[in-house]
Amino acid sequence: MQHNNSPIPDGGAPTRNRPFGLDLREPFTHLDGFDGHQQRRLSALRGQFADEESYDRLVAGDPLVYEVYEMHRPKIAGELLSGISIIHPGQVGDEFYMTKGHFHTVRATSEIYYCLHGRGYLLMQTEEGDWAAEEFYPGRVVYVPPHWAHRSVNTGKDDDLVTFFSYPANAGHDYATIEQRGFRKLIVSKNGSAVIVENPRWLAGDGGR
Ligand code: PAN
Ligand code: ZN
């Protein structure tokens, strides 16, 4: 293995400029090949869960909802960013733990997810209000086309949802649009099953017009 570390052009951490490989195998607890690790607690998802009473009760303990391991690369067109996201099991009221969700700042950029472990959905929507939910289970690939916001939802009872993702390094993240409007659909537990229901608080956008 030859790693040639040199400063990256956008001033970030040193990076690898030689081809390299990584092992992604169970258990996903020692992800040493990745450069960055972010943790998102429930307090980072304020306003996103429908049941505000349950949210307020649970946020006092501020549980860890999800973690992201990233491979650092220059954030320029032509590079790919990739990593692992791990959504822990849990609910706020009857709504499953999920990521914040975002559009890419550069709307014309796509993303690909590969499910390594667990069960769940990738919930997606356009600014015009079209929506889709693609199932995650081990071995499943989900493609996010350009212009579609995306949020991972863990519908497993006791199990983490683990996915590998990759997207163009110049994509950027627009969280504000989802923070303000929410997703059109919620994924909730009903009689022991995951069901997709309308979000009564979703604010339809104007599609940028
Ligand atoms: C993923 C997500 C990751 C965490 O890397 O960033 O799953 O979700 P949030 O960014 O919505 O908190 C991705 O889609 N990157 O573009
Ligand atoms: Zn993304």
How does pLDDT run across 154-206, given as a tens digit for each residue?
Answer: 999 999 999 999 999 999 999 999 999 999 999 999 999 999 999 999 988 76
Give the CATH number of the domain where residue 109 resides.
Answer: 2.60.120.10
Q: Whose CA is nearest to atom 3 of ligand 1?
A: 85
Task: State the pLDDT at residue 5.
Answer: 45
Give the tens place of pLDDT for each residue, 56-72.
999 999 999 999 999 99
d(CA 69, CA 72): 10
Question: Could you give the number of structural domains in the chain?
Answer: 1
Residue 186 in domain: yes
Quick one: which of 195, 130, 116 has its CA closest to 159? 116
Across the range 133-146, mean pLDDT stands at 98
Binned at pLDDT 50, 70 and 90, residue 15 comes out as low
Ligand 1 binding pocket mutation candidate from 68, 71, 125, 154 (most atoms within 8 A of CB) = 68
In order of 149, 187, 206, the CA distances from 129 in angstroms are: 10, 17, 9
* Cβ 195 vs Cβ 153: under 8 Å: no
Q: Cα(8) to centroid of ligand 1, in Å?
A: 22
Q: Counting runs of H as helices and runs of E as strands, what totals does the chain give?
A: 2, 17
**Per the structure block, which two tokens stand in for 61?**
């303990």
Give the tens place of pLDDT for each residue, 79-122.
999 999 999 999 999 999 999 999 999 999 999 999 999 999 99
Residue 192 in domain: yes
Residue 1 in domain: no
Domain that holds residue 77: 34-198
| Ligand nearest to the backbone CA of 120 | 1
What is the average pLDDT value for the chain, to the nearest integer?
91
Q: How far apart are the first and last CA of the chain?
A: 51
Q: Cα(101) to centroid of ligand 1, in Å?
A: 7
Residue 86 in domain: yes
Quick one: which of 80, 67, 71, 69 has its CA closest to 12? 71
Closest ligand 1 atom to Cα of 102: 11
Task: State the pLDDT at residue 27.
Answer: 87
Walk across the sheet containing 161-168 and list its strands. Answer: 36-41, 64-71, 80-87, 161-168, 111-117, 141-144
